Structure formats: structure tokens, C-alpha cells
Structure 1
């Protein structure tokens, strides 16, 4: 096993990418903290981890934009296991449509979850992270090339990649690595609920749609000793979506 006894916090872990990441780390022997807002799904993920042998795991309902809730969840993990070895900032939301039609509340909520959330989790986890620890931020090709309907989401992911580079510099002396994974189309509810995808305006080649399990393998790589020389980097794993978005050839 690659992560025996390691303490891993995964946000947005009740479905999609986060769920698969939690399961993947558990299979490698990690102790996993499942953060999310859906209690039914959270308990289901906890049970799934336990059934595959991960007795050391727990779910906590946590709004990542709430500083007090984040601090409490991280403190519980540190008190229970003494440290945090890996933080995976996966929780995100996406609002689509014209910017002029977007409410201020929706803009603020997008930034709160997608950008403030990683800040809060890193802020409270870092004091408990020993040398050799790792932070993995889940970004998107929309940080680089996007469409006309995803301004808030794109801005948040662009900010997350800048956050990744800056935090990696801050953490260098502490021997804590910080990287991001820039994804394209992934088989998750967020993808299929996108109005452009539902309407057919944005066409997808099934061969370019990654599975959550494939993404989890890449997160494991960035968090593990196999990627020891890598920090401050953004790994693109987009199935070809970046050049497609860049050319606006939907």
C-alpha cells in the first residue's frame, strides 16, 4: 500500500471525483476525512470506505466557505490522528449563463466555495501538516480557455491556480508540496448538468470524458512520494478539451 496510516482530508467527497479520491486513498491504507454537505451520501461514502477495510475514516458535514466549520473538521482530524498528511481541495460549484444575468449572491457563492474554501482548508490544515505532506487543488481547463457562459467559474479556477503557485512558494521551506490538477470533461453530475452540454451546444467526444477513477489515480500520484520533485505545478489532464475550448470549436 502507498499511503498506510496517512491522514487525508478530501472536500466535496460525497459524490463524483471526491468520492473516488476518498475510496482510492482508503485502498492505499489512508485514514480519510470525508467533507461534504449531503449527509446521506456522506454516510454512504463512509460505509463504502469501511467495507473495503478503511476502519479509520469519518464523514463531517462541512461547508468549506464557513471558517468555523472548516476549522472544526480539521481540528477533529488532527486531534484524532495527530496530523494531516494530504489535503485535497475538490469541492466546487458552477453557475452558467451571462454575467449580466448573474446575481451577486451566485458570484459570491462561487468564489466562496471554489476559492475561499481552499484558502480556509489550507490555512487550518497547514499547522498540522508535517514535512513531506502534500496539497492537491482540483482545477479546470476553464482557468485557461473557457466559453461565454462560465465567467465566475473560470475566474475562480484561474485564481485557484495562482493560489497554488503562491502557496507552493510559501510552503517550500516547510517541505510541503502544493500542486493542482487541471481537468477537462469528467463524468460527474457537474458535467452533465451543464446547460450547454444538456442542450448539445457543447459537443463531447465520449473518448475525451475521463472517469472519476482515472482522476483519483492522478490525485494519488500528486499526493504520493512518486511525485516528490513536483511542486508549484499544474498538471493538465484534459483529454484534449483545452485546445478545443481554446479554438471555440464546441
Structure 2
């Protein structure tokens, strides 16, 4: 019960890693706020948590819209008066060579993957009490990547730079910030990737992680057990980055 009565705000909580994180935090006593665009999927996540005896609410929020983010954080603060844990999981990918990529798609991806993290951090920080935590979900693509996903890899590299920089602005004993870099994880995003479908990006199914395995690592980084971990990225990738 590491998150008993803590208000845990999770973006991308409607599926994949985000849903697994919501379920994990709810099972450990967290008061989970599930953010996402799909109402039906959001309610499904809430149902999983509440059926197991946890507490959760869904708030629809399109991270591509800064005003929606601002409005949602105001609702969270009005309801709970604080945010103890912020998990930034929601992300999107593009699969075009940069020379063929419309810049509006670049801008949209950066808004969802990167600017939303900055805005959520900015808005939540004044309401985060001592011992609170921010965890940003990065990717192994921030370190090693493939062709045709340059915007995604760029956003994740910048996310890790954001985490390092913000750790210099935040008091370790007040609010910690860290990142998790997943490898291949059994989620819709992985299997819908055209590079994976075509074989351009090779995936060894034996080393594909489960969302629950990522949720365990994310919960640890968000908990008081990680009280001396600040401004770093933990790779949770089944050893993928260790391969030549």
C-alpha cells in the first residue's frame, strides 16, 4: 500500500502501459485519476480498479490541446486539492521519413509527447506536497532508434533532458522527477508499428515485456522506496539496449 490515499494522475491510462500503471497504483491504495481521450476505454480502466476495491475516476483529456490540459488539472485540484504522483505515459508515433513528414504532424507529436509533460509539470507542481513524484515514460528510442521515427525518438530524447534539467530545479526531498525507458512491450502501439509489421524493426518475441512489468518499475520509481533517485532514466527493456 505504498500509495495509500495518494492522488495519482496518469496520462494514457486507457490502455497498454498506462492502464497497467493505473491498476497497480489503485491496487496499492492510490486514488487514481485516469486521463485519456477514449471515454469507453477510460471507464473500463476505472472499472478494473474499482472492481478490485480501489478508487479511480476517469477524466477525458486531449493532450494535443493545452486548454484541455489546463482545465483538467483544475478539475483534479478542485476535487482532491493536491497531486501526489504524476505519471506521464501518453504518446504518439509517426512512421514517415523526415523529408516526407508534414510539419503539422511533427508539431502534434511534440505537443502530445513533450509539451504536455512540461505543461502538466508546471500546473501540478504548485499542488504537489512534500514527498511527491513525477515519472515520465520515455523509450529506448531516446538512446538507439530506427529509421522513420525521428520525431518520436527526438521527443523522448528531449523528455530525458527535461527530466535531468527539472531535477536541478526541484528539491529532492520535496518532489522527485525521473524517467523510465521501456523496450518492446506487448501493447497496441508495438504491434501496430509499420516498421515492426514489415520486419524493418526486428522484435524478438522472447524479450517483449508485459505492461505489468513496466508498471512494477514505474510504481517503484514513484514510491517512497525510490526516495534517493532523482533526475535519471531507468531502462526497463529486457536487456535490449545491451545488445550490439
Alignment TM-score, normalising by the size of structure 2: 0.96
Give the deviation of 1:207 after TM superposition. 2.1
Give the deviation of 1:51 after TM superposition. 0.7
Q: What whole-Å deviation, never above 9, does each CA across 1:62-117 have from its counterpart, x for those lacking one?
A: 01232221122222222222211000000100001211111111111110100011
Report the CA distance shift for 1:210/1:124 in structure 2 as closer, same or farther (over 3 A).
same
Return the alpha-carbon distance in structure 2 between the equivalents of residues 41 and 164 of structure 1.
29
Gaps of 5+ in 1: none
Q: Trace 1:98-177 onto structure 2 (pairs within 5 A).
A: 98-172=97-171, 175-177=174-176
Q: What whole-Å deviation, never above 9, does each CA across 1:143-192 have from its counterpart, x for those lacking one?
A: 11111111000100000000001111111266210000011101111111
Residue 13 in structure 1 maps to residue 13 in structure 2: yes
Aligned CA RMSD, in angstroms, stands at: 1.2
Q: What whole-Å deviation, never above 9, does each CA across 1:209-244 have from its counterpart, x for those lacking one?
A: 110000000010000011111000111111122244
Question: 1:64 touches 1:120 (CA, 8 Å); kept in 2?
Answer: no
Q: Which runs of 4+ in 1 moved over 3 A?
A: none
Return the alpha-carbon distance in structure 1 between the equivalents of residues 68 and 52 of structure 2.
28
Question: 1:12 touches 1:36 (CA, 8 Å); kept in 2?
Answer: yes
Gaps of 5+ in 2: none
Q: Secondary structure at the match of 1:230?
A: coil
Alignment TM-score, normalising by the size of structure 1: 0.94
